């Protein structure tokens, strides 16, 4: 007698939503034979695809009729995990590795610091897998910026990403807390960036031969003193967001290098929340999101009036 086989951990599983869900609730319902901890691990690994969109967001909307796939990912040998409080691995396969970098950690080495970097820590992790594995830089985050970044793990992925970055990276979204309130709720900043001998970037609205940079922003919340912005990049220049926001009179809070006067969270308030790209090997659309630091929301809450002063 043939028995219905349960899907194994190594098989790709496909489901169709019969009603609206959030993604985590959908997974809990459809793979109820796994513990909730295991289900969360599967989602965090980047193996879940909703209507051809890979995502790690637990609250990603799953609409009635949506197709949800859980992809098989071969187990990487001898990885040993990564034990570092300054970064987390969000996703890894044989071609790319996506991490959540904490604020304060260099992306790559400098003349003065070679080892306390995301590149070094991830490279050590990958080398444990044997077979001559190591990683390649395809983009960077400023040391003072937290959030999602990616390294390539194969020369094929490196070359395809480097040579086609603007076509393959679909979305790079950032959140920033800035001083004051921008003049426009939404706008696009276009300017030309140059670097001086002190390695500081300068922005000019007139073409002075510098690198063209373009950033879209949307003001999400403001209390007059601080504003929370969502930003999307059309170009990826060094210090682009920081210098362009300063150029319109709204420097990123905590960014003294670019004219901030305050430092409410003891850090530069800039965070790379979303990275969406076409996978260089599979051509599938991958999307990774990490939460905005809670402190960003706290400092843009409405300022309560001092009733004693108002009644004086």
Over residues 53-68, the pLDDT tens digits come to 777 788 888 999 998 9
CA distance 211 to 203: 9
Residue pLDDT, tens place only, 292-310: 998 999 999 987 765 434 4
Statement: residue 232 has pLDDT above 60: yes
Closest to 128 in 3D by CA, of 74, 73, 72, 82 = 82
- Output Rg (C-alpha) for the chain, integer angstroms: 22
Model pTM score: 0.73
CA distance 17 to 64: 5
Q: What contacts 132, CB < 8 A, 6 or more positions away? A: none
- Which domains, from first to last, does the chain contain? 13-70 (3.10.290.10), 76-163 (3.30.2350.10), 169-276+288-303 (3.30.2350.10)
Statement: residue 10 has pLDDT above 80: no
Asked if 64 contacts 19 with a C-beta cutoff of 8 angstroms, the reply is yes
Closest to 293 in 3D by CA, of 256, 255, 264 = 264
Phi/psi of residue 40, nearest 5 degrees: -65, -35
Comparing 70-74, 161-165, 194-198, the range with the smallest average pLDDT is 70-74
């Amino acid at each position: 007698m043939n028995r219905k086989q349960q899907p194994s951990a190594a098989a790709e599983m496909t489901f169709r939503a019969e009603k609206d869900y959030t993604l985590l609730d959908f997974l809990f319902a459809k793979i109820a034979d796994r513990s909730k901890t295991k289900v969360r691990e599967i989602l965090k690994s980047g193996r879940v695809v909703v209507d051809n969109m890979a995502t790690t967001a637990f609250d990603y909307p799953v609409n009635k009729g949506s197709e949800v796939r859980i992809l098989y990912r071969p187990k990487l040998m001898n990885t040993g995990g990564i034990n570092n409080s300054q970064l987390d691995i969000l996703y890894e396969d044989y071609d790319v590795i996506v991490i959540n970098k904490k604020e304060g950690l260099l992306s790559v080495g400098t003349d003065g610091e070679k080892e306390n970097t995301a590149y070094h820590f991830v490279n050590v992790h990958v080398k444990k897998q044997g077979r001559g594995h190591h990683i390649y830089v395809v983009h960077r985050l400023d040391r003072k910026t937290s959030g999602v970044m990616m390294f390539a793990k194969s020369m094929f992925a490196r070359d395809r990403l480097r040579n086609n970055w603007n076509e393959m990276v679909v979305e790079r979204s950032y959140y920033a807390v800035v001083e004051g309130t921008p003049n426009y709720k939404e706008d696009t900043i276009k300017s030309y960036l140059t670097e001086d001998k002190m390695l500081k970037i300068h922005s000019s609205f007139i073409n002075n031969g510098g690198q063209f940079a373009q950033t879209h922003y949307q003001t999400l919340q403001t209390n007059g003193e601080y504003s929370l912005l969502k930003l999307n990049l059309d170009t990826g220049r060094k210090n682009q967001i920081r210098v362009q926001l300063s150029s319109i009179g709204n420097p990123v809070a905590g960014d003294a290098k670019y004219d901030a006067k305050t430092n409410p969270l003891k850090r530069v308030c800039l965070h790379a929340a979303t990275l969406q790209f076409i996978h260089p090997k599979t051509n599938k659309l991958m999307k990774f999101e990490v939460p905005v630091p809670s402190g960003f929301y706290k400092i843009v809450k409405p300022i309560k009036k001092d009733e004693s002063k108002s009644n004086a």
